[in-house]
Amino acid sequence: MSLPFAPFNQPAPSLGNQYDEDRVLRSILKRMLPPDALREMEPGLRALGELGGGELYQMQLADRLNEPKLTHFDPWGNRIDQIEVSPLWKRAERLAAEHGIVATAYERKHGALSRVHQFALAYLFTPSTDIYSCPLAMTDGAAHTLAASGNHAIMDRALPHLTSRDPRTFWTSGQWMTESTGGSDVGQTETIAKQDADGTWRLYGRKWFTSATTSQMTLTLGRPEGNGPGGHGLALFYLETRDGNGALQNIEIGRLKDKLGTRKVPTAELFLHGTPATPVNGTTSGIRNIAPMLNITRTWNAVCSVAGMRRGLALARDFAKKRVAFGAPLAEKPLHIETLADLQIEFEAAMPFVFRVVALLGKLETGEITESEQKLLRLLTPLVKLTTAKQGVRVASEVLECFGGAGYVEDTGLPVLLRDAQVLPIWEGTTNVLSLDTLRAISRDGGLGELLGEIKGIAQSTKDTELRAIAEACAARVEKTSAWLMERAGTNAMELESQARRVALTFGETYELALLVEHADWALRVEGDARPRSAARRFHVRGTDHLRPVFEAAETRALANDA
Ligand code: MFK
């Protein structure tokens, strides 16, 4: 049946080159990198920007319904536990190797700044590759951890694969930590490590949530027989998932997880029935030894948070130009403009924070880091992860709303933005666990003095009067929050713990604002661009102070338990 008129069809949002169109990334790279280095990096960044906004984005939309499939048995009854990933994932694996999304950090062509280069590539790569960032993050985490482990046999075996640019030799790594006893309280790990008479260690246990189970190797935790309880009694193990014939090494894949998001990631439950494994660095202190891996995957998490925000904003902005309602494009409607600006500042504030942490990581790896910077990095890593993950979810939720009903309809490719963002505050340590890690970092290593010192330094060197006043307000907020913390440290541990999230978010967002001020002042002078300054002013007004009057513990408990 035909209609007596041609019905209106809304043009879909589209993307251009995701490097060329990203003012914020380009401006940050211009500030952080020597011009020659940036010139050398730009063709690669631009190539990924082109792929991400074009071919890969189209492939992602077309590949929407393809999910990983697990086949337990071959036609003849042999147990095979084969996982087939989506076509886009296969393509992403090849591209990741060829573009050196992991390798760039280890080739160190630009010294400490190679981390800035690598994470700029990762940032451009990730939004159109269906969370292929997950195996890459773990691969990077494993390479970083092994490189610092001093275990030359494992390093010689695994590092050339993890950092390869050749898709035929490139390996990804898993990070098998979570068991049903605890994704957060990893010290309760039940996996047992037994040693054969010939000295081979074998792992027996169940890993409850292993991401990207198609990896060729993994780092994991097990408790050598006879060791005590808790994280200290665990050891960090390296294992290869398949033998020389391609068969799983006494590993059974129970099932794939049915998750809210990251549905392209083959996350599995595994049974280890005597899987051969090698201790990486001794037979105790597993949590301490795997912590470097966590710090890398947490940094990746932050990079993926900003990349996700940027993707959502790019789509929402394009749509706002195309969508006409109540007589004008949304891009000209005052309330929609206000909404987009409020979202843009979350992204714009998060970016300098993420790249600051990335730059410090680069210095750590080349040994150029000072003791103060090392303390700062220890504190900033949980802060950047928890702060940007929350921003990522908020922005993704609002981005969907910018599309009205279309944002809620699956084949627009929009709802997945929110589902995939929702994992960011959960995996790699929830917001609460990372808030407690923040307190742990402060009490064991310090770092607050360095944080405050850096913000004061920014205030002193800022030329623009209004921006300087904002940086001074940031310093005052950090001082006030630190004093609040110190008053309770050692005397009121319960109250301190109850407020850890508010403290951590205050430090995280206030530091974000200070770094945004630093960038805005530079952008004003060097690029003549006032937009970062506007973002800083707006972010300051939005507020970064999360401390609130604390209610009496019994009153809070009555509410929490409704009892
Ligand atoms: C998009 C990219 C995202 C990446 C995707 C990857 C997908 C992979 C999916 C997953 O694997 S998710 C699972 C991730 N799991 C976690 O993040 C664990 C969350 N829980 C915690 O982080 C807990 O805080 C922790 C397990 C560390 C608590 O355990 P314990 O045993 O109570 O810790 P404890 O005793 O405080 O610390 C043990 C040692 O580790 C201490 O050192 P010492 O032995 O010298 O005293 C700590 O200082 C050290 N440590 C702990 N966290 C650290 C750290 N050191 C450096 N950095 C840290 N973050």
pLDDT in tens, 500-517: 999 999 999 999 999 999
Whole-number pLDDT of residue 197: 96
Whole-number pLDDT of residue 26: 98
CA distance 205 to 211: 17
Q: Calculate Rg over the CA atoms of the chain.
A: 24
CA distance 79 to 484: 59
CA distance 87 to 497: 46
In the Cβ-directed half-sphere of 404, how many Cα atoms lie within 13 Å? 8
What percent of the chain shows pLDDT beyond 90? 97
Tell me the one-letter amino acid at 54: G
Residue nearest to atom 56 of ligand 1 (CA): 291
H or E segment to which residue 287 belongs = helix 286-322
Check pLDDT > 70 for residue 349.
yes
H or E segment to which residue 290 belongs = helix 286-322
**Which residues, 6+ apart, have CB-to-CB distance to 560 below 8 Å?**
none
Alpha-carbon separation of residue 451 from 474, 507, 522 (angstroms): 11, 9, 20
Beta strands in 26-89 (DSSP E): 69-73, 79-84
Tell me the one-letter amino acid at 82: Q
Distance 363 CA to ligand 1 centre (A): 22
CA distance 251 to 373: 42
Average pLDDT, rounded, for the chain? 97
The token pair at 239 is 């294992």
Check pLDDT > 80 for residue 212.
no
Whole-number pLDDT of residue 534: 98
Which atom in ligand 1 lies closest to the alpha carbon of residue 300?
Answer: 2
Ligand 1: which of 186, 270, 357 to mutate, judged by most atoms within 8 Å of the beta carbon? 186
Burial of 453 (0-12, 13-18, 19+ CB in 10 A): middle
Closest CA to 49 of 135, 140, 121: 121
CA distance 440 to 324: 51
What average pLDDT does range 181-190 have in this prediction? 92
- What long-range pairs does 400-409 form, CB within 8 A, spacing at least 24? 402/316, 402/319, 402/320, 402/330, 402/336, 402/339, 402/340, 403/13, 403/316, 403/319, 406/10
Would you say 519 and 525 are in contact if contact means Cβ atoms under 8 Å apart?
no
> Which residues form the pocket of ligand 1, taking CB atoms under 6 Å from any ligand atom?
133-134, 137-138, 175, 177-178, 183-184, 186-187, 211, 230-231, 285, 287-288, 291, 294-295, 297, 300-301, 304, 427-429, 433, 437, 440, 444
Would you say 282 and 160 are in contact if contact means Cβ atoms under 8 Å apart?
no
Place 299 in a pLDDT band, splitting at 50, 70 and 90.
very high
Ligand 1: which of 184, 294, 376, 381 to mutate, judged by most atoms within 8 Å of the beta carbon? 294
Residue nearest to atom 23 of ligand 1 (CA): 184
Would you say 137 and 318 are in contact if contact means Cβ atoms under 8 Å apart?
no
Residue nearest to atom 35 of ligand 1 (CA): 231
Distance 145 CA to ligand 1 centre (A): 13
Check pLDDT > 90 for residue 178.
yes
Ligand 1: which of 287, 289, 304, 435 to mutate, judged by most atoms within 8 Å of the beta carbon? 287
Whole-number pLDDT of residue 1: 67
**Which residues, 6+ apart, have CB-to-CB distance to 420 below 8 Å?**
131, 261, 262, 308, 396
CA distance 476 to 78: 66
In tens, the pLDDT along 530-558 reads 999 999 999 999 999 999 999 999 999 99
Angle between helices 114-125 and 334-366 (to 10 degrees): 140
Whole-number pLDDT of residue 182: 80
Would you say 87 and 63 are in contact if contact means Cβ atoms under 8 Å apart?
yes
Distance 281 CA to ligand 1 centre (A): 17
CA distance 385 to 388: 6
Ligand 1: which of 118, 140, 185, 288 to mutate, judged by most atoms within 8 Å of the beta carbon? 288
What average pLDDT does range 176-194 have in this prediction? 94
Place 489 in a pLDDT band, splitting at 50, 70 and 90.
confident
Whole-number pLDDT of residue 445: 87
Tell me the one-letter amino acid at 330: L
Distance 106 CA to ligand 1 centre (A): 23
What percent of the chain shows pLDDT beyond 70? 100
Check pLDDT > 70 for residue 2.
yes
In tens, the pLDDT along 376-429 reads 999 999 999 999 999 999 999 999 999 999 999 999 999 999 999 999 999 999
What average pLDDT does range 92-101 have in this prediction? 98
Residue nearest to atom 41 of ligand 1 (CA): 288
Residue matched to tokens 């027989």: 225
Would you say 484 and 503 are in contact if contact means Cβ atoms under 8 Å apart?
yes
Check pLDDT > 90 for residue 27.
yes
What average pLDDT does range 43-48 have in this prediction? 98
Q: Helix-strand-coil percent breakdown of the chain, rounded to 5?
A: 60, 10, 30
317 φ, ψ (degrees, to nearest 5): -70, -40
Distance 32 CA to ligand 1 centre (A): 30
Greatest Cα pair distance in the chain: 84
Whole-number pLDDT of residue 507: 98
**Which residues, 6+ apart, have CB-to-CB distance to 45 below 8 Å?**
19, 29, 120, 121, 124
Residue matched to tokens 């409607």: 333
